[in-house]
Structure 1
């Protein structure tokens, strides 16, 4: 991501000025009727909804993306965070003491996520330009991204105490992230098969049962844990 200086860096939060923002964040305001500087002033200066997560400050709105102020030696840097901390959002149940570790994971996951995953047409185009090895290299590259994603998931789970991992918020988060990787692995496998063998009929995506990932930091199942029943009433 590229960084630009804000036109009006006079807004201060917690005694420090907001000096820069990512180009992507600034561009997202072009057709909104306001500027990123105005939104920062509305949320962080005028008393909007935000929370501290590690050294940074995040909004807690309704949606899958949050506005964030990242701490630096000179002041604050504004960017977006690829998940939501609101009560009903993706990360709404993460306890405050674990939010920084989860935020580090989400940033790493986003860096390892391409704009789009390859389709069969992409492999045929690579094959025409560079031969079969070029087509295979495209799949290998994206499989490598997924392998790196699994490493970041493992780093996240090892940062959470083992007793805490069994709690619903952690178990569901880790399983959701592993299920997403397993789904993408299956999609890449299907793309490679279609490239070599073609497709016939409906050609639905293969729904393969994968019980879980046995990572260095511990096993993460791909099935969500079932709620415990009360042994006296047999109710969940």
Structure 2
């Protein structure tokens, strides 16, 4: 196994008169590097009884997971290469995407996987400073803002590609773009806060994510900036901020001390 491709030519699998000859290391690792088990599962997924779909010339499995196995045609050999597609067409929000728009959404998913790589914290800037001083911090911050710019460009292209006949995205597309934009906004806010904390030692109260929304946590609860009403008791208790219990009629029972 190399860093870029795993040879599967010995697996002797063909789909649509094309041989499967390689796989990505990421996909092989997901199967514990057991090539025989991977071969059997790919044969089952894309076989006569399997569940798959075609997306812009690629073949995707259809499962209830958050990612799928994908077969892509290699430009240099016209054979299949198997890799991981970072979304599931039966999982929200992608289950709402009509089949005729899956190719555009798939292109965005591939771009965003490489760009939405996590949230920057002040500790990362301190580590860069320890390794390379101020110039290293500047390079890191600039590269992170470049990443966010590229992410926004990819999202802008998706928004344009999903425009309907009325020159506005349909409701499913609007929801998908909004959810992605909230993730982008969160990444931007963490980067700004990390930079402020590193430079001045403070950044003020920072909201954190809540089901892709934003909330501010107070001493006795929290407020979700994306909601117009107070969340129900189940949601508050889920996040461990309020230990309320209720009877079957919705009446609050006496508070129970936290363990």
Alpha-carbon offset, residue 166 of structure 1: 3.4
Instruction: Show structure 1 runs of 4+ deviating over 3 A.
Output: 31-34
Structure 1 gaps of 5+ residues are 209-221, 225-236
Equivalent-residue separation in structure 2 for 1:71 and 1:184 (angstroms): 34
1:184–1:104: structure 2 CA closer, same or farther, 3 Å change rule? same
Among 98, 112, 115, the residue aligned to 2:115:
112
- Residue of structure 1 equivalent to 2:206: 205
Matching of residues 118-137 of structure 1 within 5 Å:
118-137=120-139
TM-score, length-scaled by structure 1: 0.78
Matching of residues 63-212 of structure 1 within 5 Å:
63-72=65-74, 73-86=77-90, 88-114=91-117, 116-162=118-164, 163=166, 165-199=168-202, 204-206=205-207
- Residue of structure 1 equivalent to 2:22: 20
Alpha-carbon offset, residue 15 of structure 1: 1.8
SS in 2 for 1:70: strand
Structure 2 gaps of 5+ residues are 210-224, 228-259
Alpha-carbon offset, residue 26 of structure 1: 0.9
Check the 8 A contact 1:63/1:89 in 2, yes or no. no
CA RMSD of aligned residues (A): 2.6
Equivalent-residue separation in structure 2 for 1:31 and 1:58 (angstroms): 21
Asked which structure has the greater RCO (Cα within 8 Å, sep 6+), the reply is 1
Check the 8 A contact 2:159/2:169 in 1, yes or no. no
SS in 1 for 2:6: strand
**Residues 88-116 of structure 1: CA deviation (Å, up to 9, x unaligned):** 433111111111011011111112233x4
TM-score, length-scaled by structure 2: 0.72
Number of residue-to-residue matches in the alignment: 207
Larger radius of gyration: 2
- Residue of structure 2 equivalent to 1:47: 49
